[in-house]
């Protein structure tokens, strides 16, 4: 059964700042509709400008890939503080909003604080049906392994039975990822990770491959899986074959690795014990899709919510599909007050 502190995540916390904006505002910062970029220096004043320009129309949602998944798992678990989250923020205005909103979501946040950079932000500017997104990692990039040295924080690592880390922290503190992964493996616990983005499979291949021997469940989507296969010379673009090959990569213990690859509206592929199974997603009409951003994170959150209750893979995938289907019908990675998952 789920209990307090059973699931721990480490990731890059980003405060989603979302607004219905104007073409004029996009032009001011050289942003394009329907595009996602990393902030350059010219974009850094934009986050405060959004608040000043659009005032109370601005919505704040605590986000970043790992925290999105952890929030969804927390929501579905129904157990207060079932989840714990580590990441780095500043004690600035956006940091306070992040902390309050994440706690309201029931997540036990244990942030590391920095004054070197502002809290990480993710601007989402909607014009008509299009979204322009701009991420400024800022403080999230300042996380260090020292955070684990604090006895109360390491106790939370020890208390957890399941761990989830998106691929993005491999660019920030790979030593933290490995340390948590090694603890999980040595203690017979479950460590889960995500490929998260094609660029990670390409340019952060080394830390990713160093972590994989400790990974019990690996998530990804079809584009990430194809990039991973290409970078590691698998010689195939068949998703089921790729999933099997990843599942069979060397592991530190003798527990089989499970690989879960989502494919948008196509069936989810799960590879384990030398065989693959396909699970259809919940059909949805195009007109009902509001925002696919965060669908992958929601899927992971739903999957983990069942995993921490000891449910089989079929039930985990079913709940993942439920969460993803629900979230794409809303703006941002948000959800109603109570789940109706059955």
Place of tokens 């509709």: 33
CA dist 300 and 258 (Å) reads: 13
Q: What per-residue confidence (pLDDT) applies to 256?
A: 95
Catalytically annotated residue among 49, 291, 297, 340: 297
pLDDT, position 107: 96
pLDDT score for 192: 98
Place of tokens 């999230």: 140
> In the chain, how long is the greatest CA-to-CA distance?
57
Task: Tell whether the torsion through CA atoms of 105, 111, 115 and 119 is positive or negative.
Answer: negative
pLDDT value for 140:
97
- The H or E element containing residue 135 is strand 130-136
pLDDT score for 290: 80
Q: Return the pLDDT at 272.
A: 96
At 290, list the tokens.
Answer: 């509001």
pLDDT of residue 142: 98
CB of 72 within 8 A of CB of 25?
Answer: no
Residue of 160, 148, 44 lying closest to 88 (CA atoms): 148
Tokens of 325: 């289907």
Active site residue 297: yes
Q: How many residues does the chain have?
A: 342
pLDDT at 38: 84
Question: For residues 295 and 199, what is the distance between their CA atoms, to the nearest angstrom?
Answer: 19
pLDDT averaged over every residue in the chain:
94
pTM: 0.93
For the chain, the first-to-last Cα distance in angstroms comes to: 16
For the stretch 91-139, pLDDT in tens is 999 999 999 999 999 999 999 999 999 999 999 898 877 778 898 999 9
pLDDT means per 10 residues, the chain with 342 residues, are 94 93 94 84 93 91 94 94 98 96 95 97 86 91 97 98 96 97 97 94 95 98 96 97 97 95 95 96 86 86 97 97 90 80 88
pLDDT of residue 128: 78
């Amino acid at each position: 059964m789920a209990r307090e502190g059973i699931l721990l995540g480490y990731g890059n916390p980003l405060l989603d700042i979302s607004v219905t904006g104007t073409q004029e505002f996009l032009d001011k910062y050289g942003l394009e509709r329907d595009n996602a970029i990393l902030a350059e220096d010219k974009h850094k004043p934009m986050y405060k400008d959004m608040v000043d320009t659009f005032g109370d129309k601005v919505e704040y949602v605590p986000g970043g890939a790992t925290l999105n998944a952890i929030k969804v798992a927390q929501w579905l678990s129904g157990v207060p503080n079932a989840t714990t989250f580590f990441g780095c923020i500043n004690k600035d205005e956006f940091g306070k909003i992040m902390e309050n909103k994440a706690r309201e979501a029931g997540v036990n946040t244990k942030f590391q604080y920095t004054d070197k950079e502002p809290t990480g932000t993710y601007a989402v500017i909607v014009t008509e049906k299009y979204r322009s997104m701009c991420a400024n990692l800022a403080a999230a990039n300042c996380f260090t392994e020292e955070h684990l040295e604090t006895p109360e924080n390491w106790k939370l690592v020890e208390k957890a039975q399941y761990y989830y880390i998106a691929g993005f922290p491999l660019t920030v503190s790979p030593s933290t990822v490995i340390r948590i992964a090694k603890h999980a493996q040595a203690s017979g616990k479950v460590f889960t990770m995500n490929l998260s983005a094609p660029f990670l499979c390409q340019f952060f291949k080394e830390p990713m491959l160093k972590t994989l021997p400790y990974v019990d469940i690996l998530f990804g989507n079809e584009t990430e899986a194809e990039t991973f296969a290409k970078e590691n010379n698998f010689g195939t673009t068949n998703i089921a074959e790729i999933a099997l090959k990843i599942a069979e990569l060397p592991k530190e213990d003798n527990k089989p690795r499970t690989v879960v690859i989502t494919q948008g509206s196509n069936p989810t592929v799960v590879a384990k014990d030398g065989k693959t199974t396909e699970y259809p997603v919940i059909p949805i009409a195009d007109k009902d899709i509001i925002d696919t951003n965060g669908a992958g994170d929601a899927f992971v959150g739903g999957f983990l919510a069942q995993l921490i209750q000891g449910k089989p893979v079929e039930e985990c995938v079913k709940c993942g599909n439920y969460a993803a289907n629900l979230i794409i019908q809303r703006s941002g990675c948000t959800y109603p007050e109570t789940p109706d998952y059955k």
